[in-house]
Amino acid sequence: MKIGKVPENVLKRSVFKQIHTKRPEVLLGAGVGEDCAAVKLAPDEVLVLSTDPITGTAQDIGTLAIQITVNDLASSGAEPVGVLLTVLLPESVEEPELKKMMAQVEEACAKANVQVMGGHTEVTAVVSQPVISVCGVGKVKEGHLVSTAGARPGMDILVTKWIGIEGTSILAKEKEDQLLTRFSAPFIEKAKSMDVYISVLSEAAVAVRSGVSAMHDVTEGGIFGALWEMAEASGVGLEIDLKKIPIRQETVEICEFFGINPYQLISSGCMLMAAKDGNHLARELEKAGIPATVIGKATEGNDRVLQNEDERRFLEPPKTDELYKV
């Protein structure tokens, strides 16, 4: 396609016609020439906003764009309502590819009951692969907002499911040919399918009902980055047992193959939580079919300690995600 705004006929045919999910709160939604969206909230509701670009992969980019933003909203205890999309395309992309991306977007929106409220679609020489930047809009009742900064000394620290979910799936899809030189096709298919666990809407809903004090979606920088960010936001220290951090064998082996650290690998689908009674929260999550593990405690002071049997070392500020090394 040619550089510049996507033509109106393409916009109508391959973007707007893919959007079907509607929300009653949205008063003004996506349309030609519309630069804004409008959302009506009840008097006791708070508007929650989040923004994220998808830059690490071109495969399933429409699905990931929605899931990651919906996860961010869920980690605040909010119900996702809608999204605004900025879609930047290189000249090499043809209309059928745009249509496929938007079909992925709509499928993910339908699953999460989220409306595409508007956005911007453009072909530009600035990018070499498609980039989707998403602004998410959610709502939460006053007094029920959960933040990353809610951890307090003495609270238990938990993670749901496993670390490395998103990174493992991306690597299995993007680097399949390389991985086939060592691993069987069924092993790689299993790793690819880990993307079914990327949504954290279910665990966020259970956690909000079960006494969670802080939540943080484990994205770029992996679990080490997320732990640091929660501790920094909350002004607490940490005592974390490295052996208790849950990780799937597919993640271990793929990370070993590429020589990267799974604890610093993008991990959307894994939620980091803090709670006064972590065992109670873990049991409630397990009842809902969501694996959860208490991995340590928040402490007084600023020491963020990782305990690995007899070895103690300090957590460092987040580094570049391991995905980019591959």
DSSP characters over 62-131? HHHHHHHHHHHHHTTTPEEEEEEEEEEE-TT--HHHHHHHHHHHHHHHHHHT-EEEEEEEEE-TT-SS-E
Q: What is the pLDDT of residue 143?
A: 86
In order along its 326 residues, the chain shows pLDDT tens digits of 888 778 888 888 998 888 899 999 888 888 877 677 788 888 999 999 999 888 877 788 999 999 999 999 999 999 999 999 999 999 999 999 999 999 999 999 999 999 999 999 999 999 999 999 999 999 999 888 899 999 999 999 999 999 999 999 999 999 999 999 999 999 999 999 999 999 999 999 999 999 999 999 999 999 999 999 999 999 999 999 999 999 999 999 999 999 999 999 999 999 999 999 999 999 999 999 999 999 999 999 999 999 998 899 999 998 899 999 99
CA 37 to chain centre: 23
CA angle 323, 109, 3 (to 5 degrees): 65
Q: Which residue do the tokens 């009840």 mark? A: 42
Same fold for the domain at 4-141 and the one at 148-325? no
Q: How confident is the model at residue 57, as a pLDDT?
A: 75
Could you tell me which CATH class the domain 148-325 is placed in? alpha beta
Distance, CA of 257 to CA of 253 (rounded, Å): 6
Can you give the pLDDT at residue 112? 94
- Domain extent listing, the chain: 4-141, 148-325
121: left (phi over 0), alpha (psi -120 to 50) or beta: beta
4-141: CATH topology is 60s Ribosomal Protein L30; Chain: A; (3.30.1330)
Rounded to 10 degrees, the C-alpha dihedral 253/254/258/259 comes to -40
- Beta-bridged to residue 116, according to DSSP, are 83
Question: pTM for the complete prediction?
Answer: 0.85
Q: Is 189 helix (H, G, I), strand (E, B) or coil?
A: helix
